[in-house]
Amino acid sequence: MHIVNREIEGRSPGYWALLGGLGFLALLGLLAAFTMEHHGHIITGMNNQVVWGLPHVFAVFMIVAASGALNVASIGTVFGKKFYKPMAPLSALLAIALLAGGLMVLMLDLGRADRVIVAATYYNPKSVFAWNVLLYSGFFGFAAAYLWTMMDRSVGEYNKYAGFGAFIWRLILTTGTGSIFGFLIARQAFGSGLIAPMFIVFSLAYGTAVYLLVLFAAYGWSNRPLGDEVVRRLKNLLGIFLAASFFFVVIYHMTSLYYAKNWPFERFILMDGGLYTVLFWLGQVLIGYVIPMILIFAPATRANRTAMVIAAALAVLGALAQMYVTIIGSQAFPLEIFPGYDVKSSFYDSGIHEYSPSHWELMLGVGGLAVALAMVTFAVKILRLLPESLADEVVSLHPSKP
């Protein structure tokens, strides 16, 4: 298998328009963060009941997707599938970029981002949030080392070790992210050991969908050959991961329905939740799972590249809807402070909490995503991350040993 990696030229007006557009969106995100810092979160839709708003939806999506973006590289190194190795550098880069964008949104949404130094100097080992400080830093380190061993032949002998380390750490990272919700027993939607493995499966689907979109864009806009076999395999991976995610969603809600105390919350999400019910059935289930899987596996569309792009894009939209329902819907449902009793007070201890995201929150979330994509766009111009060709005759199904 003769693979030659080259930078893209990046001299066309289209390239600079793309980079400039992403930079503009990133600046809008920084403007939103500055405005929220200056005026306070009173200008957002967040309140005393819904304290994690739309920026957290984008942040958690990107953090979870960052873990899944390493799928392609892990399959090539950890599982020994040489077919995927030429696509591994882009996989590692995308993982780093998505995590950076997600953490940017997360930190700038805190209101006092400068207070992060407190978390660094006064570590609380009992806090799941404190664990994630180490997990995020470790992921950056493992992914960067993994990418280094791919691109520098002098350290290529350590590639497998770096790949195994990155693979194990990404599982730990996503487990930690899921545990943030799984350990929050105060919310009826959470407090379940099923959430951590469910987030691992979500990461596989999210990351593969984003990787597929970036790969199509990179090779389509740079006029580089992209073979049908590459598309077929990545498409099948996405379909399998979407099916697995859908299965976990069904099991999660069936498990929750088994306990009578969770019936009011499940009724809220599945039937009476207004926007949250619509986002669950229309956004998460139909747009995020059913339609993409039909496009991927139906005989009439499974060989159509446009259908694959649409399927991956819908999977991303469905993932954002899923995070919205998971993060915000759980806060909108009132806390059960005194089980078995009705609580009425002037401090909104009962009733569904209202939340309408402001444009500042949307700007911050989109800005973080733009930062991640801008990092990838610039990196493929200055680093040899992409093979000149991924045509079927180049990426052989049975590569000979060097």
The tens digit of pLDDT for each residue in 386-396 reads 999 888 888 76
Contacts of residue 310, Cβ cutoff 8 Å, sequence gap at least 6: 295
User: Over the chain, what is the mean pLDDT?
Assistant: 88
More confident call, 344 vs 242: 242
State the pLDDT at residue 270: 92
Domain count for the chain, please give it.
1
Of 30-44, 312-326, 366-380, the one with minimum mean pLDDT is 30-44
Residue 316 domain-assigned? yes
Of 54-58, 129-133, 196-200, 287-291, the one with minimum mean pLDDT is 129-133
* Residue 317 CA from chain centroid, whole number: 11
Residue 32 domain-assigned? yes
The tens digit of pLDDT for each residue in 291-342 reads 999 999 999 998 899 999 999 999 999 999 999 999 998 888 877 767 677 7
The tens digit of pLDDT for each residue in 198-231 reads 999 999 999 999 999 999 999 999 999 998 999 9
The tens digit of pLDDT for each residue in 42-84 reads 899 898 888 889 999 999 999 999 999 999 999 989 988 888 9
Tally of CB atoms within 10 A around 117: 9
More confident call, 127 vs 21: 21
SS (H, E, C) 346-400: CCCCCCCCCCCCCHHHHHHHHHHHHHHHHHHHHHHHHCCCEECCECCCCCCCCCC
The tens digit of pLDDT for each residue in 148-194 reads 999 888 898 999 999 999 999 999 999 988 888 877 765 667 767 78
Residue 38 domain-assigned? yes
Instruction: Supply the DSSP symbol for 85.
Output: G
399 pLDDT above the threshold of 50:
no
Q: Show the domain range for 369.
A: 12-336+360-380
What CATH number does residue 161 fall under? 1.20.1630.10
State the pLDDT at residue 181: 82
Residue 342 domain-assigned? no
More confident call, 97 vs 131: 97
* Residue 53 CA from chain centroid, whole number: 16
Q: What is the dihedral of CA 110, 93, 391, 156, to 10 degrees?
A: -160
Contacts of residue 144, Cβ cutoff 8 Å, sequence gap at least 6: 96
Amino acid at site 165: G
More confident call, 132 vs 17: 17
Q: How confident is the model at residue 400 (pLDDT cuts 50, 70, 90)?
A: very low
Q: How far apart are the first and last CA of the chain?
A: 8
The tens digit of pLDDT for each residue in 249-268 reads 999 999 888 887 788 888 99
**How large is the average pLDDT for residues 132-155?**
91
Residue 350 domain-assigned? no
Residue 255 domain-assigned? yes
Residue 2 domain-assigned? no
State the pLDDT at residue 266: 87
Of the chain, the percentage scoring pLDDT greater than 90 comes to 59
State the pLDDT at residue 350: 58
State the pLDDT at residue 291: 97
Rounded Cα distance, 366 and 22, in Å: 10
Residue 134 domain-assigned? yes
**How large is the average pLDDT for residues 379-383?**
93
